[in-house]
Chains A and B, each alone.
Chain A
C-alpha cells in the first residue's frame, strides 16, 4: 500500500511534465463562473468542449463586476456571458487593461421593469408604462404609500430608476434590494399570493421558465433622450425613456489566450448562442433539476452538430 501511495505522490509531482494530448499547453484554462443559471451551464458547455479537445479546464467563481479586471490580469481566462446592461462599464474599462472582446452572441438581452401576468387582471394596461402608472395604487406598500413600490436592482448595478421615475413623473418609489436573490424571494412570495408587484428583471434568466410575466414597455431610448430635454414624453426632462430592448451579450477573454492556447481561443470565438438555446440550457437546471454539469452534457448531446461546428 505504501508503495502505491508513494508512486501516486511521485507521479503527481511530475504530472505537469507529462504532456497528454496534442494541445499547445497543459496549463489549465480558467473559466469564470457567476451565480446565475444560464452562465453556469454555458461555462460548463465551453469547459466540456475544451476538455474534449484535450485542454485542462478549471472553473472559478467570481463577482460579475470584478471578474473583468481578473481576466485582464490573466488570473482568469474566459467569460462566456458579458451583459451590456449591467457590465458595460467594467467590460469596457478592462478592454484597456488587457482583456479582449471575444465576439458577440446572437442572443440579445433586456433589462427592464417586469410584472407577473396576473397583474394584468387588475390592471389590463400594465404592459405599458403609462398604463402601469395609472394603477400605481395597487403596488403601494406601507412605506411607499400613497405611491406604488418598484423593487429595483442593487444600487451599484449602474441604473438609476429613481431618476427615470422622476423624469417620467411616475407615481412610484424605487426600493433597491441588496442582491438578486432578494428580488426573487419577493417575487416568489407575491406570486404565490397573486399580490401585485413590479420589479426589476432581465432576460435570458431562469425567471421566465418559472414565472409567467412580461416586461413593461418604456419609450425606446435614443441618444437624444439623454441629451435633449424636448425629446420624449416629458418635454422638460432628460432620461425619460427605458432601457434598450435588445442589448448585446458578449464573450470576454484574456489577451494572452490566443498565444497560449490558439485552439481553445478559436473555440471561444466560434461559440455563439441564441436566446432560445440559452433559455433551454437554463431550463434544464431550473425546471428539470439537473446540476449545471449534467445540463451542459445534455445540452451538448442535444446540439451535437452545432457544437461540432464550433470545435472545428
Chain B
C-alpha cells in the first residue's frame, strides 16, 4: 500500500542526503559515539567528571531549613504548626495507650493487671479457629506460645500494641484514599505516582521528617509505620473497585442504591477478597517496620533486637527476630483465612450461644485466667526460670563457624575485593556523568520511546545537580554487583524448584522466612566472615534480594500452559532445548519482573547495609537521622527511588521489545 504523503518526500527534496533515522543506527554505535564524546568532554572540562560543588543546587539544605522552620516556628496567628502536630500526636496516643494497658502494662494506678499471657495465647487460638478452623487454631496458639516460652512476651506485646493500632489506621486511610482515587481522575493522577515513589524510597528516609515534626517515641513510630503500610491498602482498594463485575454494579443501580449505598453495600462487599489481601499486606508491612521504627523510639522486639546486636548477642537477636516473624506469620495466616472464610450458613437459625461460641469461649478463658492469675503468678507473667533460650549456643556456633571457615574465606574475599570489586568501583567512579545521562537517554529512546528517555535522563541529571552523584554511583556499583550474583544464584534455583516439586516446598518456605526475617541480623555474621568492606555489603544484599529472583522464575515457569510444554516434548526437544528454547523465553516476562523486584530489594537493602560502613546513598540516609538533616535523608531516599525507576523503565522497555521479537504476548 502506498502512502500519498510519504511517497512525495524524496521527490520534493532530492538534494538531501538519504535521511537516516536515529532508530536505524545500532545502539552499540550510538553508545560508542556517546562514550567518545564524553571522554573528549571530560578531558576539556573537569566538571564532567565531578560536578563542581559550587554549582550544586542546595535543595537538600533548603528542605532541611524548611522542616526546621515547620517544626519550630511555623504558624498562623497564635497557633503554631507544632501545636497541630502535637495535637495529632496526642490524639494517636490515646488508642495506643489503651492497647498498652490491655496487652502488657495493666492499669498501674488502679493495680489492674494486663490480660494474662495464657488468655492471649488461647484467645489467638480461638481467633484462628473462628477464621480458619482447628489447624489454624493450633498454629496460631503455637506461634504465640513461642513468644512466651522464649521470654519475649512483654516486648512482643509492645510490638503488638503498635501493630493493633497501626493496622486499623492504615486500613481506614488506605480505604479512603483508594476510594477517592477511584472516584476522581485528578486524585488518581496524584496518588498513584506518589505511591510508586513511596514504595521505591527506603523506609528509613521517611524517619527524619517524622522525627522533626512529631518528636521521638511510640507515636512517631506509629506514624512512620502507618505512612509506610498504607499504600498497599490503597492500591488494593483501587484494584478491588476496578474489578467489581459491571453486572453487580448494574444490579445495585437498578435496585435503586444511592451512590453511597452502591459503594458500601455493593461494591466493597463484592471486592472483599482483594480488600482483605490489602489488609494482609498492611499487617506484613507493619511488622516489616518493627525494627526500623525503633530508630525513632518504638519499644518492643525491634528495639531489643537492635540492642542485642549492639551487644553482639546474635543468638538473642535471632530469637527476637523470630518473634517478629512469628507474629507476622500468625497474623498473615489469620487475615488470609479470614479473607477466604465462607459465610457460616450452618450457624443460621442456631442458638445465640452457638453463633457467638468463639466470643463466649474467649470470655470464659479470660475470666478463668484472670482469676488464676490472682493465685498463680505464672499465669500472669511467665517467670524467667520457665523460659528457654538457645542464644548463647547460637552465638558460639556462629563464632565457631567464622573461626573455622575464615582460613578458606579470607583468600577468596581478598581476591574478589582486590581484583574485581575495587577495579570495578574505580571504573564506575571514573565514568563522566554526561556519558551516563546520554547512554540512559539513548537506551530509553530505543527501548521505550521519547517520554521514558526524557524521564530517565531527567532523573539522572537531577542526581548530578543536587550533589548526590558519587554516593549514587557507589550505590549502583554495589547494587549491580549484587543483582548479577542474585540472578546467577536465583534463576537456577527457581528452575530447580520448577523441575522437582519435592524441593519446591522447602525452597519457598526458606524464601518466606528470609523475607520476613529482620535483615539487620544478617549483617553481623557477614561482618565476622568478610570484614568491613564492599564484599560484606554485597553479600548482605544477596541474602535478601535473591528471593524475588527465585520466586518469580519459579512462578513464571509454573504458569507456562501445559499445551506449550507438551508441544515441545512431542517435537522431540531434549530437556535442555525445552528449557532454553521454550520454557525460559515464555517465562521471560515473569522472570524480568523478578529481576526488577530484585533490583528494588537490593536498593532498599542499601539503607540497611549502611550499618556495615560504606559511602553510598544508604549511608547518606542513615547519617541524616542522627544529624536531623531532613533534606539529605529525603533526597538520598529519592535518589535511590530514581535509580530504581530508571532501571525499572529500561528493563520493562527491553522486555517488551524482546517479547515482540519473540512473538510472545
Contact = CB atoms under 8 A, between A and B. Distances in A.
> Does chain A bind chain B?
yes
A192 B524 contact: no
B286 interface: no
B366 A1 contact: yes
A6 to B, nearest CB: 13
B134 interface: no
B529 to A, nearest CB: 7
A76 B216 contact: yes
Question: Main SS of chain B's interface residues?
Answer: helix
B294 interface: yes
A2 B367 CA distance: 10
B452 interface: no
Given A175-B613, A182-B611, A142 B413 contact: yes
| Chain A interface residue number, banded | 35 or more
Contacts of B306: 35
B225 interface: no
A177 to B, nearest CB: 4
A180 interface: yes
A70 B392 CA distance: 36
B153 to A, nearest CB: 12
A303 interface: no
B587 interface: no
A1 B528 contact: no
Interface residues of B, number: 60
A66 B628 contact: yes
Question: Main SS of chain A's interface residues?
Answer: mixed
Contact of A62 (B107, B110, B297): B297
A206 B308 CA distance: 12
Interface in B332-384: 363-364, 366-367, 370, 384
Contact of B528 (A56, A155, A188): A188
Contacts, number: 151
A63 B101 contact: no
Given A12-B107, A20-B109, A35-B306, A64 B626 contact: yes
Given A1-B367, A60-B216, A60-B297, A193 B403 contact: yes
B402 A192 contact: yes
Contacts of B295: 63
Contact of B215 (A12, A63, A73, A181): A73
A201 interface: no
B626 A65 contact: yes
A70 B399 CA distance: 38
Interface in A149-175: 151, 154-156, 175
A12 B311 contact: no
Interface in B78-115: 98, 101, 107-110, 112
Contact of A143 (B110, B310, B418, B622): B418
Interface of A: 1-2, 4, 8, 11-12, 15-16, 18, 20, 26, 30, 35-37, 40, 56, 59-67, 69-70, 73, 75-76, 141-143, 151, 154-156, 175-182, 184-186, 188-189, 192-193, 206, 285-286, 289, 294
Closest 5 CB pairs of A and B: A142-B414, A65-B626, A189-B528, A185-B527, A178-B611
Given A56-B108, A142-B414, A175-B532, 18 more contacts: A1-B364, A1-B366, A4-B367, A8-B112, A15-B109, A63-B216, A63-B625, A65-B626, A65-B628, A142-B413, A143-B422, A176-B613, A178-B614, A181-B611, A185-B312, A185-B523, A185-B528, A189-B527
